[in-house]
Amino acid sequence: MLVTTWVVVGVVAGVSGVMIGYLALRQARAVVEECQRMLARQTSEGRGDLKAIRDVAVCRYDALSEMTGRLSFSVAMINGLGDGIVLTSINGRSETRTYVRPVVAGKGQQPLSPEEEEAVRAARLGLGPLVPSRATGPL
């Protein structure tokens, strides 16, 4: 009898969890659809081009222990759809390396460094243009 009770409790809990998850998914989809409709309406009214670069953030940091002064940087340039690029420059004493990585829907298409992720996050949240790096603190 005790085992049967626990089985029933487990089934009820599992079904309840699935239903709560399903309702949350429906609500999230409704919110996303409403945001898409709002953006489409703004674009059709001439308020803006979603494909134009509109969010920019620069994250400066010390990439190499031999160099100080936060000469290395990552720049995220993102449009209204969350697409764009992250341009990174790693500066050392004798050389500079520059990288560019694509961003689609707010996510890097290749693995991003923590500084690049911070630049993308700051651009998407409108925290730019200059944002402090977590590793170095405020500007």
**pLDDT of 84-115, one tens digit each?**
999 999 887 888 899 999 999 888 888 899 99
**pLDDT of 41-67, one tens digit each?**
776 766 666 677 888 999 998 877 766
Asked whether residue 26 falls in the same domain as residue 57, the answer is: no
Asked whether residue 37 falls in the same domain as residue 58, the answer is: no
State pTM to two decimals: 0.60
Asked whether residue 67 falls in the same domain as residue 82, the answer is: yes
120 vs 137: CA distance, rounded Å:
17
Asked whether residue 123 falls in the same domain as residue 81, the answer is: yes
Asked whether residue 116 falls in the same domain as residue 76, the answer is: yes
In a domain, 94, yes or no: yes
33 vs 103: CA distance, rounded Å:
22
Domain that holds residue 2: 1-48
Asked whether residue 92 falls in the same domain as residue 37, the answer is: no
Supply φ then ψ for residue 31, to 5 degrees: -65, -45
Residue 132: its pLDDT value, please?
A: 67
Identity of the residue numbered 120 = V
In a domain, 137, yes or no: no
In a domain, 85, yes or no: yes
Asked whether residue 42 falls in the same domain as residue 98, the answer is: no
Is residue 56 a contact partner of residue 76, using CB atoms and an 8 Å limit?
yes
Q: How many domains does the chain have?
A: 2
In a domain, 103, yes or no: yes
Asked whether residue 124 falls in the same domain as residue 68, the answer is: yes
* Arithmetic mean of pLDDT, 54-83: 84
Asked whether residue 72 falls in the same domain as residue 43, the answer is: no
Is residue 73 a contact partner of residue 61, using CB atoms and an 8 Å limit?
yes
Asked whether residue 71 falls in the same domain as residue 124, the answer is: yes
- What is the residue-wise DSSP string for 17-81? HHHHHHHHHHHHHHHHHHHHHHHHHHHHTTS--TTSEEEEEEEEE--STT--SS-EEEEEEEETT
